[in-house]
Structure 1
Amino acid sequence: MSTASDPSTPAARTRHQHDEAKRYANESYRAAKRLPSSLTDDVASTRTTVGGVPLPGYFHEGVIRARLGGLLET
């Protein structure tokens, strides 16, 4: 019998995926804050995709807040 704490249940997998997404979002935000961003050249993406995933034209903390804000720690 499966329970909510059983890692093989769909609910547990979903919770794990959400936790992983939160970690990714927060690490991305911290990384973006450490990078220079005073010039357009500082934040302009040099690649349009990574692993088939489209990237924004500019990468800075505002983009991360806009796209992943619901996952960021406050």
Structure 2
Amino acid sequence: MSEVKTIDVSSVSFSSTVFPSDADMELWNSLSEKEQRAVVRRDLDAAEASGVAEPETAAEILERVRSSPLE
């Protein structure tokens, strides 16, 4: 996957974080396979660089999510 590090996907930005919108799907499908892999690599690198998450049980996660107000 090292070859995808040289592909510039800085302008690729999706609007949804959970379920892709129609526009997100259209954008994803317009990318080449290498561009798709570069986007995945970029997002994995960003997630790894963000640090270690605090440990939570599944019950704690559900409680936190359910108590969050809908936007």
Instruction: Give the TM-score band, short-chain normalised.
Output: 0.3 to 0.5
- TM-score where L is the length of structure 2: 0.33
- TM-score where L is the length of structure 1: 0.32
Higher strand proportion: 1
